[in-house]
């Protein structure tokens, strides 16, 4: 311990808090460069630079000021505008200084408890250590020759989450957990690749090989449709589905127009009656219903589709049933909230993101299949890697080389346990209820969704404007005044859209708090697009008092804008 203490004192001025670059000239040679690849004889160098890195990160989080640095985006772009790659080597300490000054200083404080605008939140500090282990081991999950223990860590984690979702028997998991002949699912780089993998499998199931047809993978979609006698194929989703599904349709050769978005009900859930009518219309046109997609946590509003009824509909039309649970899937870790995702165990496939509610760093997705042999439909092999007789995870993944990212959620589950996640989700649900209560009680904000999974949308609407809106909504239901009232209501909403857009810009400029902004066509003013402020309440460091402070600041900014710029415009509209 004495040596460690002396070292910290010894290097503090030069490594722990570098104040300038040394600009020391380094002569490139194989002798110098090879030293960078050899493990040091003692841990001192790791300790020095590890200390330097951790101190810089700690300073970043303790730094007073806004969520973003004050630099403008054009000026930030100029910092990284060199068009020539570096030629001369530099000291590690000099590169660390540059990272500190150019990167860390201008990064977004997404872990700040006043930052409640996106699904990116605070992460536990031990994740920094786990990332160091991942980098140091540098395992490649494509093949067991480059991922010996980590292959089995991955299979174990996949089995844990598969059991949470599909709840098959314990004997099944004992047989399946390390059986190389089957695959319960894949680890992917993110939810986009998880959704793509699920639709890839669904496509193969919808258009299996036949006598004169070698399968979609070999003959393509045109041959698949001709062989099976369909005019086209369709994937049906809620209008609030994530745009990754559009990209998946594009990549799979189905075309984004074949992604059919179905309207939602007043709770932002897919309207199952309209879904059934849409299916019937498509079938009359000889369209193959390839997949029905349910959402367990819509990206913009955090709502959950009726997963049980969607299973019934998928069965009726013979479609693969996929659930995009990138946001909400992790809540299955807490038994108390399993009912929210009732029916997910009957899905054919489920996608999740661990960098969201597993509280791990960016990024990792997961796709699971109820039938452990579904992934065999997309199995690939190669002579130099993932050979036919291998037990490699890469046989079933769209990606080739992959990091050992699964260590992050694996470690999170070990450290927190399901009991710990229960506490984290209790806190998040309490925060959601607190925010809903605070905004409902505010005379100058209007709640615009029924939050189910930690996402709250509202807009700033001064009380006198809200009173006028209610009068107009009442008149819009009466004969003789309905058309004029609807026109006036539309104009007021347009002006409120402009006000809320400007308010959001003011919030970003003030920079002590942050919520995001989106435009919804699914509020009570549907189909008119409404600009809303979107808050996400999952940061364990956020408290009710912080939410009160955020709301008070944003209300003050909104009223200032309204009084100075917008009140006269609303008064003219309301005459």
The CATH number of domain 416-573 is 2.40.37.10: no
Q: 0.85 cut: is pTM over it?
A: yes
Three-state SS letters, 118-174: CCCCCCCCHHHHHHHHHHHHCCCCCCHHHCHHHHHHHHHHHHHHHHHHHCCCHHHHH
Which of residues 143 and 286 earns the better pLDDT score?
Answer: 286
Which of residues 32 and 140 earns the better pLDDT score?
Answer: 140
Which residues, at least 6 apart from 476, have a Cβ–Cβ distance to it below 8 Å?
Answer: 482, 485, 486, 489
Token pair belonging to 474: 């009442």
Average pLDDT (434-456) is 96
Of 8-22, 45-59, 411-425, which range is least confident? 8-22
54 pLDDT higher than 60 = yes
310 pLDDT higher than 80 = yes
Three-state SS letters, 105-119: HHCCCCCCCCECCCC
Q: What angle do CA 308, 320, 315 make, to 5 degrees?
A: 50
pLDDT digits 0-9 by tens, 128-137? 999 999 999 9
* pLDDT score, position 53: 80
* pLDDT score, position 51: 80
445: pLDDT confidence band, cut at 50, 70 and 90?
A: very high
* pLDDT score, position 117: 95
Residue 89 and residue 22 in contact, taking contact as beta carbons nearer than 8 Å = no
Residue 24 and residue 91 in contact, taking contact as beta carbons nearer than 8 Å = yes
545: pLDDT confidence band, cut at 50, 70 and 90?
A: very high
- CB-neighbour burial class of residue 336 (10 A; exposed 0-12, middle 13-18, buried 19+): exposed
* pLDDT score, position 388: 65
Percent of the chain at pLDDT exceeding 90? 77
> Which residue is listed with tokens 């038994």?
335
Q: Which pairs count as long-range contacts for 78-81, CB under 8 Å and 24+ apart, including other chains?
A: 79/106
* pLDDT score, position 15: 45
**Distance (Å, whole) CA 475 – CA 478:** 5
pLDDT digits 0-9 by tens, 197-236? 999 999 999 999 998 999 999 999 999 999 999 999 999 9
477: pLDDT confidence band, cut at 50, 70 and 90?
A: confident
Residue 385 and residue 399 in contact, taking contact as beta carbons nearer than 8 Å = no
pLDDT digits 0-9 by tens, 362-387? 999 999 999 999 999 998 766 555 56
**Distance (Å, whole) CA 162 – CA 156:** 10
* pLDDT score, position 481: 79
* pLDDT score, position 10: 32
162 pLDDT higher than 80 = yes
Residue count of the chain, please give it: 575
Largest Cα span, the chain: 89
Q: Write out the CATH class of domain 148-405.
A: alpha beta
Phi, psi of 94 (to 5 degrees): -70, -40
Percent of the chain at pLDDT exceeding 70? 94
> Which residue is listed with tokens 């380094």?
26
412 pLDDT higher than 80 = yes
Phi, psi of 40 (to 5 degrees): -60, 155
* pLDDT score, position 16: 46
* pLDDT score, position 329: 97
* pLDDT score, position 19: 65
pLDDT digits 0-9 by tens, 180-191? 888 999 999 999
* pLDDT score, position 12: 37
Across the chain, mean pLDDT equals: 91
Q: What is the residue extent of each domain of the chain?
A: 2-109, 148-405, 416-573
Phi, psi of 350 (to 5 degrees): -140, 135
27 pLDDT higher than 60 = yes
> Which residue is listed with tokens 């007021």?
492
18 pLDDT higher than 80 = no
3-class SS shares of the chain: helix, strand, coil, % to 5? 50, 10, 35
263 pLDDT higher than 80 = yes
Which of residues 445 and 56 earns the better pLDDT score?
Answer: 445
Average pLDDT (336-346) is 97
* pLDDT score, position 506: 97
């Amino acid at each position: 311990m004495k040596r460690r203490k002396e070292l910290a004192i010894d290097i503090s001025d030069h490594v722990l808090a570098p104040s300038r670059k040394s600009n020391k000239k380094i002569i490139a040679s194989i002798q110098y460069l090879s030293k960078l690849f050899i493990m040091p004889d003692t841990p001192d160098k790791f300790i020095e630079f590890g200390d330097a890195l951790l101190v810089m990160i700690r300073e970043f989080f303790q730094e007073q000021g806004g969520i973003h640095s004050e630099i403008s985006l054009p000026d930030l772009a100029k910092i990284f505008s060199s068009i020539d790659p570096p030629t001369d080597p530099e000291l590690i300490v000099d590169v660390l200084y540059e990272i500190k000054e150019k990167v860390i200083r201008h990064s977004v404080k997404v872990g700040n408890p006043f930052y409640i605008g996106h699904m990116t939140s605070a992460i536990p500090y031990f994740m920094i250590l786990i990332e160091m282990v991942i980098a140091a081991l540098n395992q490649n999950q494509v093949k067991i020759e480059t991922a010996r223990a980590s292959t089995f860590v991955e299979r174990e984690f996949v089995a844990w989450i598969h059991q949470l979702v599909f709840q098959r028997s314990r004997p099944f998991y004992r047989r399946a957990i390390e059986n190389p002949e089957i695959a319960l699912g894949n680890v992917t780089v993110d939810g986009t690749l998880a959704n793509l993998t699920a639709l890839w499998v669904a496509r193969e199931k919808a258009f299996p090989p036949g006598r004169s047809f070698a399968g979609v993978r070999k003959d393509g979609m045109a041959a698949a449709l001709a062989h099976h006698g369909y005019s086209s194929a369709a994937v049906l989703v809620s209008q609030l589905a994530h745009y990754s599904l559009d990209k998946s349709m594009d990549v799979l050769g189905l075309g984004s127009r074949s992604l059919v978005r179905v309207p939602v009900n007043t709770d932002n859930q897919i309207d199952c009656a309209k879904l059934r009518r849409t299916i019937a219309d498509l079938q009359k046109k000889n369209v193959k219903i390839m997949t029905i997609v349910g959402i367990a946590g819509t990206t913009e509003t955090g709502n959950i589709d009726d997963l049980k009824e969607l299973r019934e509909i998928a069965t009726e039309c013979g479609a693969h049933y996929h659930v995009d649970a990138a946001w909400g899937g992790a809540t299955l870790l807490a038994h108390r909230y399993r009912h929210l995702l009732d029916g997910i165990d009957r899905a054919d496939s489920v996608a999740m993101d661990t960098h969201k509610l597993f509280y791990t760093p960016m990024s990792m997705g997961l796709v699971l299949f109820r039938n452990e042999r579904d992934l065999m439909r997309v199995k690939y092999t190669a002579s130099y890697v993932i050979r036919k007789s291998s037990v490699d995870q890469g046989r079933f993944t769209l990606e080739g080389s992959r990091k050992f990212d699964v260590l992050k959620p694996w470690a999170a589950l070990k450290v927190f346990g399901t009991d710990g996640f229960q506490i984290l989700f209790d806190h998040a649900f309490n925060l959601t209820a607190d925010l809903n209560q605070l905004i409902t009680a505010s005379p100058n904000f209007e709640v615009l969704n029924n939050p189910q999974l930690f996402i709250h949308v509202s807009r700033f609407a001064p009380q006198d404007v809200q009173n006028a809106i209610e009068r107009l909504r009442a008149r819009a239901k009466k004969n003789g005044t309905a058309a004029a009232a609807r026109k006036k209501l539309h104009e007021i909403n347009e002006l409120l859209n402009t006000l809320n857009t400007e308010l959001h810009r003011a919030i970003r400029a003030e920079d002590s708090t942050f919520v995001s902004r989106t435009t919804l066509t699914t509020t009570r003013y549907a189909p008119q697009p409404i600009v809303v402020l979107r808050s996400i309440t999952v940061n364990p460091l956020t408290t009710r008092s912080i939410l009160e402070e955020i709301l008070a600041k944003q209300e003050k900014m909104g009223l200032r804008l309204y009084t100075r710029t917008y009140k006269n415009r609303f008064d003219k509209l309301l005459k």
